[in-house]
Amino acid sequence: MSARGQNDLPVRGFLGEELIEEIRNRNDIVDVISSYVKLQKKGSSYFGLCPFHNEKSPSFSVSRSKQMYYCFGCGAGGNVFTFIMEYENYTFLEAARFLAERAGIEIPEVEYSQEAKERASLKATLLEINKIAAKYFYAQLKSEQGKLAYSYLTNRGLSEDVITAFGLGYSNKYSDDLYKYLKMKGYSDEIISKAGLITVNEKNGAYDKFWNRVMFPIMDANNRVIGFGGRVMGKGEPKYLNSPETEVFDKSRNLYGLNRARTSRKNYFLLCEGYMDVIALHQAGFTNAVASLGTAFTTGHASLIKRYVNEVYLTFDSDEAGTKAALRALPILRAAGITAKIIRMEPYKDPDEFIKNLGAEAFEERINKARNGFLFSLEILERDYDMNSPEGKTDFFNEVASRLTQFEEEIERNNYIEAVADKYHVGFENLRKLVGKTAIKMGLATPATKPKQPVGNQGTKVDGHLHSQKALLTWLIENERLFSQIKAYISPNDFTQELYREVAKLLYEQYEQGDVNPAKIMNHFMDEEEHREVASLFHTKIQQLSTRDEQEKALKETIIRVKTYSVEEATRSLEPTDIVGLQKLMAEKRNLQDLQKLHISIE
Ligand SMILES: [Zn+2]
């Protein structure tokens, strides 16, 4: 999770909390979102098709009482400001101005004085510098000195439209050109260096990191330039150079092309290896292509993808390195719950080459013929075994069986067993038995045909506790009667996750002041990422129980679970010499006992 969104702090300070609240209050979220998304009332909420991911049945909810939206499909969520920022790609100030105008509220003009600039946080400044640099590179490409670079791009088959759409540019031959330009704009060596655009050393002073390169601005999902990739013109090393990681550029949490792919309206992404692949695919009409940024594919990338789609087609290079990279990405995607398929590009090396030679239609055909990622990984595995000898074959199938145990759902596992049996001409039942035996050997299953327990379930246990904490927050928002009944037993400190605790604290304050207003709580968090998370805290799916008795029982169980875990955690972290802490803990344990006797009433 990113640091508390400092980039908007100066702006918020400038507008003032009161004005921000007034703007929010006078823009009812249902009215605002209705002008973008067709909403239908269902119970106490409104539902529609999510504008942030592709879906066929509505999981996007808007609540008038909470003044929040939340998508149960992709987790997008927030208040009316967040929606406008995400939908229109606006900064907070732009969104505030837009909504103020909509409600007929006047807001003062911002003047970016030197002082305001200084107050602006590092992040905002880095984004600003990156934007200026991107524009500068773009202008260079269109200038006389950029001619060679421009013809390099057009020779590679890129159209004017695509060059503009991706904001491609050129860093010219002088190695301090951009540096001088940014200095002229008033930026210090320190900040330019923090943006990763210059290298400073004692002998040569400051010089540009990128020169004589075709430049690819790297944007985040919200179209903000966070870094650059540069390909050298002519011969030079390294051929490709990327910005270093900075405050705004985390390579393992960004994908090249995501800003465009997320709006492509396809329900899968094409995952490829490089910038040129993404751009070539885009030009050929495949606007759902993304690439990891000069690093191996990570779990961060996978969870980013999962926000938008559940399926990925890997279009990695058809050489040994590309195959290896694909094999590494497969389990990561699987673990994130993403289905992966492999597109083969033989006899060509990469999508760029493939499309140049065979065209978009042929590529579309390859997409349709894409192979299942698991079966592909077995084909590669075969190479390590002597498939002509009985021993080699046995070893191979033992390995296959152990890989098949990774499918936890029986139906899914059987589907895979069937596919493998088919492909390698072995009996389904034989293979299924082998998988069962292997699972027992690996300690994954008990001999009885019970569904197996995952080995390390610590992770799911913690998740379960966090879920209870979330559910309790949702309950507290949805039923105002609860607070007075449980405040003596549960305090904000019982929420073990920092963000949850902070939200609980704000919610408790609102209750004490008699003004419960979840959307206002969101004003305390500035990062869109945090808005999503806060929105999810207030939208936990609570089991629909029919009777009041059942609901009260479930609620009580949740409260006890939250308290028990909090006490457990406190016990774990207690220092033996901490007498005060110990006394407090004893009191909490008594509290827990009282809680067992508590009767909770929801009506
Ligand atoms: Zn969604």
User: What distance in Å separates the CA atoms of residue 301 and residue 294, rounded to the nearest whole number?
Assistant: 12
Instruction: Measure 50 CA to ligand 1 centroid, in angstroms.
Output: 4
What local confidence, expressed as pLDDT, does residue 163 receive? Answer: 95
6: which DSSP letter?
G
Instruction: Measure 18 CA to ligand 1 centroid, in angstroms.
Output: 31
Centre a 10 Å sphere on the Cβ of residue 453 and count the other Cβ atoms it contains: 12
Centre a 10 Å sphere on the Cβ of residue 150 and count the other Cβ atoms it contains: 20
Which amino acid makes up residue 108? P
Instruction: Measure 38 CA to ligand 1 centroid, in angstroms.
Output: 14
**What are the backbone dihedrals phi and psi of residue 249, each rounded to the nearest 5 degrees, phi first?**
-125, 100
**pLDDT tens string 333-381:** 987 889 999 998 888 999 999 999 999 999 999 999 998 888 888 888 8
Instruction: Measure 299 CA to ligand 1 centroid, in angstroms.
Output: 20
Instruction: Measure 70 CA to ligand 1 centroid, in angstroms.
Output: 8
Contact 28, 67 (CB under 8 A): yes
Instruction: Measure 578 CA to ligand 1 centroid, in angstroms.
Output: 47
Centre a 10 Å sphere on the Cβ of residue 264 and count the other Cβ atoms it contains: 20
Please list, in sequence order, all residues whose beta carbon lies within 8 angstroms of the beta carbon of residue 567, skipping any fewer than 6 positions away: 585, 588, 589, 592
Instruction: Write out the two tokens for 171.
Output: 């860093």
Instruction: Measure 88 CA to ligand 1 centroid, in angstroms.
Output: 16
Instruction: Measure 60 CA to ligand 1 centroid, in angstroms.
Output: 6
Name residues of the chain where pLDDT drops below 50.
1-7, 446-460
What local confidence, expressed as pLDDT, does residue 383 receive? Answer: 85
Could you report how far apart the first and last alpha carbons of the chain are, in Å? Answer: 38
Instruction: Measure 95 CA to ligand 1 centroid, in angstroms.
Output: 20
Instruction: Measure 373 CA to ligand 1 centroid, in angstroms.
Output: 26
The owner of tokens 């504008």 is 51
Instruction: Measure 339 CA to ligand 1 centroid, in angstroms.
Output: 18
* Segment holding 234, helix H or strand E: none
DSSP result, 151-179: HHHHHTT--HHHHHHTT-EEE-S-TTHHH
Instruction: Write out the two tokens for 524.
Output: 């305390």
What local confidence, expressed as pLDDT, does residue 488 receive? Answer: 86
339 forms bridges with which residues in the sheet?
311
Q: Is 14 exposed, middle or buried (0-12, 13-18, 19+ CB in 10 A)?
A: middle
Instruction: Write out the two tokens for 195.
Output: 């943006």
User: What distance in Å separates the CA atoms of residue 498 and residue 387, rounded to the nearest whole number?
Assistant: 54
Helix/strand/coil (H/E/C) assignment for every residue in 454-505: CCCCHHHHHHHHHHHHHHHHHHHHHCCCHHHHHCCCCCHHHCCCHHHHHHHH
223: which DSSP letter?
S
Instruction: Measure 94 CA to ligand 1 centroid, in angstroms.
Output: 23
225 forms bridges with which residues in the sheet?
219
Instruction: Measure 466 CA to ligand 1 centroid, in angstroms.
Output: 22
Q: Helix crossing, 80-88 with 528-537: angle to 10°? A: 130
Give the residue ranges of DSSP H helices in 68-224: 80-88, 92-102, 114-119, 122-141, 147-155, 160-165, 177-184, 189-194
Instruction: Write out the two tokens for 437.
Output: 């035996």
42 forms bridges with which residues in the sheet?
45
145: which DSSP letter?
G
Torsion of CA 291, 292, 296, 299, to 10 degrees: -110
Instruction: Measure 470 CA to ligand 1 centroid, in angstroms.
Output: 19
Instruction: Measure 228 CA to ligand 1 centroid, in angstroms.
Output: 29
Instruction: Measure 54 CA to ligand 1 centroid, in angstroms.
Output: 7
The owner of tokens 């999810």 is 536
User: What distance in Å separates the CA atoms of residue 363 and residue 292, rounded to the nearest whole number?
Assistant: 21
Instruction: Measure 532 CA to ligand 1 centroid, in angstroms.
Output: 11
Instruction: Measure 307 CA to ligand 1 centroid, in angstroms.
Output: 8
Instruction: Measure 68 CA to ligand 1 centroid, in angstroms.
Output: 14
Instruction: Measure 542 CA to ligand 1 centroid, in angstroms.
Output: 19
311 forms bridges with which residues in the sheet?
268, 339
**pLDDT tens string 188-233:** 999 999 999 998 888 878 899 999 999 999 999 888 999 999 999 9
Instruction: Measure 330 CA to ligand 1 centroid, in angstroms.
Output: 24
Instruction: Measure 329 CA to ligand 1 centroid, in angstroms.
Output: 24
User: What distance in Å separates the CA atoms of residue 110 and residue 395, rounded to the nearest whole number?
Assistant: 70
Contact 306, 333 (CB under 8 A): no
What local confidence, expressed as pLDDT, does residue 445 receive? Answer: 57
48 forms bridges with which residues in the sheet?
60
Instruction: Measure 296 CA to ligand 1 centroid, in angstroms.
Output: 27
Instruction: Write out the two tokens for 384.
Output: 């390590």
Q: Distance of CA 84 to CAs 222, 265, 305, Å?
A: 12, 19, 22
| 3-state SS, residue 78 | strand
What local confidence, expressed as pLDDT, does residue 23 receive? Answer: 94
Instruction: Measure 309 CA to ligand 1 centroid, in angstroms.
Output: 10
**What are the backbone dihedrals phi and psi of residue 226, each rounded to the nearest 5 degrees, phi first?**
-110, -10
Contact 157, 356 (CB under 8 A): yes
Instruction: Write out the two tokens for 372.
Output: 């299942």
Instruction: Measure 47 CA to ligand 1 centroid, in angstroms.
Output: 11
Instruction: Measure 75 CA to ligand 1 centroid, in angstroms.
Output: 6
Q: Is the whole-model pTM more than 0.85?
A: no
